Amino acid sequence: MAKQQRAISNPLALAVLALLRERPMHPYEMAATMRERGKHHSIKLNYGSLYTVVDALERHGLIVPRETVREGRRPERTVYELTDAGRAKLDGWLRDLLRRPVKEYPQFEAGLSLMATLPPDEVVTLLTERVRRLEEEIARLRAGLDAAAAQGVPQIFLIEHDYELALKEAELRWVRDLIRGIQEEALTGVDWWRGFHAQGGAHRDDERREEEPVSN
Amino acid sequence: MAKQQRAISNPLALAVLALLRERPMHPYEMAATMRERGKHHSIKLNYGSLYTVVDALERHGLIVPRETVREGRRPERTVYELTDAGRAKLDGWLRDLLRRPVKEYPQFEAGLSLMATLPPDEVVTLLTERVRRLEEEIARLRAGLDAAAAQGVPQIFLIEHDYELALKEAELRWVRDLIRGIQEEALTGVDWWRGFHAQGGAHRDDERREEEPVSN
DNA sequence: CCGCGTATACTCGTAACCGGATATACGCCA
DNA sequence: TGGCGTATATCCGGTTACGAGTATACGCGG
């Protein structure tokens, strides 16, 4: 029954469970199937992690090796199958994921929270570049979705890309607003920010020290 | 000059660099400062990672210990300061973060891509619960932002929360649309999905095997 | 002035992660 | 048939991540 170990949190493990619900597979085949179906765009896949995750699932009793075969003199393949516990875990985990939003830490948010380290004019330039890139990505995503639709691929199969698209569009709108907010000083604090960088940008609200000549 | 090691990728390291640009600090103080300013909402902070990251930064020559003091018989505190390389790294990294969107893997996207594993009616229930939770989170976020504004906190200081809010609102709208799309079968493929689960939900498009009686 | 909760400041061990190696087989062109 | 690019499969080793533990100091109520 696998006593209390640290819970598996890598979503790749969820994908493994879902694949094994369809039929027993060996790890490499799981990876190939994920690629075929484009799932590696929504779940980070790399071989190292895959084998680690499969081992962890086995330790937890969620999957078991069914057979180890060797065709010719290729490396052995270990085929795994789902246990009942694994099936239950899959359902429970997936329900959780859909039901409750989890706190995440997108890198852009980190960038924003430290943004004031750079002077406002430069930030505007950088964000403008971001806008351009976002537009490109959105166009690419939309084109992919349209092409699939034209070929008759059902939309639920690509629903995660639709979500991605919606979020990127929202980000694009937001960044455009932010740029305007900085340029027109519509946001409170931009004046302070500008002033802070205009005169060398040392110290924040305490004095002492006047070494550190803003070398860079 | 620190020869080619694996690049540091944890955004917490970026926060450390940004804090040390203000003034030399010891790790615990960095954590305390981040908490004070609410940065731990946008950058994941925990002590284990903090010390790991500080070591890594030192190895890379981006920060150096300035002094190790011991007050009374408390544990030693090692105060670090930024090097020129560190200052350059901070600027470069931050520019990158603002300039180019990076591919990320939100958990909900993983959930969506495996959603069809569950029957459509259940998914509707789960998503409805998500909508409720999203509404709560949005209300909380907005209230926090309003309260801060009322107290005269400049908006650029909380810009990352504004971003978070915008994304959550976009997600909320999207999930509502999805629910409607499933219920009204407006999305292509929902009929197939419904039919698939109506009759036991075994196999996908290949036959063989009729064991596995959908135990759960 | 004694205890005890909280704040200060790190340290450690176990997992997890992940970028390459590694090793064989197969197809195909010259 | 020889060679080389690609596909098949897995493993390894060094980082990284992180919860939990450790140990001292301080404030304050009784």
Q: Is the pLDDT of residue A62 over 90?
A: yes
ipTM above 0.90, yes or no: no
Any idea how long chain B is? 216
Please identify every stretch of chain B with a pLDDT value under 70, giving residue numbers as ranges: 1-5, 70-75, 200-216
Q: Does the beta-carbon distance from B216 to A88 stay under 8 Å?
A: yes
- The domain boundary, picked from B99, B119, B146, lies at B99
Number of domains in chain B: 2
pLDDT of residue B199: 79
Both tokens assigned to B197 = 């689960």
Contacts of A134 in chain B (CB under 8 A): 101
Q: Please give the backbone phi and psi of residue A69, each rounded to the nearest 5 degrees, phi first.
A: -115, 155
Both tokens assigned to B113 = 């891509």
- State the CATH number of the domain containing residue A77: 1.10.10.10
At A5-50, the pLDDT tens digits run: 678 899 999 999 999 999 999 999 999 999 999 999 999 998 999 9
Burial state string for B161-190 with b = 16 or more CB within 10 A and e = fewer than 16: bbbbbbbbbbbbebbeebbebbeeeebebb
Rg (CA), chain A: 25
- The domain boundary, picked from B63, B80, B99, lies at B99
Does the CB of B40 fall within 7 Å of any strand D atom? no
Whether B132 maps to a domain, the answer reads yes
Q: How far apart are CA B216 and CA A85, in angstroms?
A: 10
Helix (H, G, I), strand (E, B) or coil at A210: coil
Q: How far apart are CA B96 and CA B102, in angstroms?
A: 10
At B137-163, the pLDDT tens digits run: 999 999 999 999 999 999 999 999 999
Whether B203 maps to a domain, the answer reads no
Whether A1 maps to a domain, the answer reads no
Whether B2 maps to a domain, the answer reads no
Whether A154 maps to a domain, the answer reads yes
Q: How far is the CA of B75 from the C1' of D29 (A)?
A: 28
- The domain boundary, picked from A99, A128, A144, lies at A99
What 8-state DSSP symbol labels residue B116? G
Three-point CA angle A16, A19, A25, nearest 5°:
90
Residues A34/A40, Cβ–Cβ less than 8 Å? yes
What is the C-alpha end-to-end distance of chain B, expressed in Å?
59
- Judge if A138 and A120 occupy the same domain: yes
Number of helices (H) and strands (E) in chain B: give both, helices first. Answer: 8, 2
Whether A2 maps to a domain, the answer reads no
Q: Please give the backbone phi and psi of residue A76, each rounded to the nearest 5 degrees, phi first.
A: -60, 150
- Judge if A79 and A135 occupy the same domain: no
Residue whose tokens read 């009616």:
B121
At A75-88, the pLDDT tens digits run: 578 899 999 999 99
- Judge if B112 and B146 occupy the same domain: yes
Of all residues in chain A, what percent carry a pLDDT higher than 70? 87
Among residues A51, A11, A62, the alpha carbon closest in space to that of B112 is found at A11
Q: Does the beta-carbon distance from B216 to A157 stay under 8 Å?
A: no
Q: How far apart are CA B28 and CA A138, in angstroms?
A: 42
How many other CB atoms are found less than 10 A from the CB of residue B30?
22
Q: How far is the CA of B51 from the C1' of D15 (A)?
A: 14
At A85-139, the pLDDT tens digits run: 999 999 999 999 999 999 999 999 999 999 999 999 999 999 999 999 999 999 9
- Judge if B125 and B179 occupy the same domain: yes
Both tokens assigned to B56 = 């890594």
Give me the helices (H) in chain A, please: 11-22, 27-36, 47-59, 84-99, 107-114, 120-150, 159-183, 190-198
Torsion over CA: B18, B24, B27, B28 (sign): negative
Q: Which nucleotides of D are covered by protein (CB under 7 A)?
A: 8-13, 15-21, 23-26
Among residues B66, B65, B60, B63, the alpha carbon closest in space to that of B82 is found at B63
At A171-201, the pLDDT tens digits run: 999 999 999 999 999 999 999 999 999 877 6
Domain enclosing residue B24, as ranges: 11-99
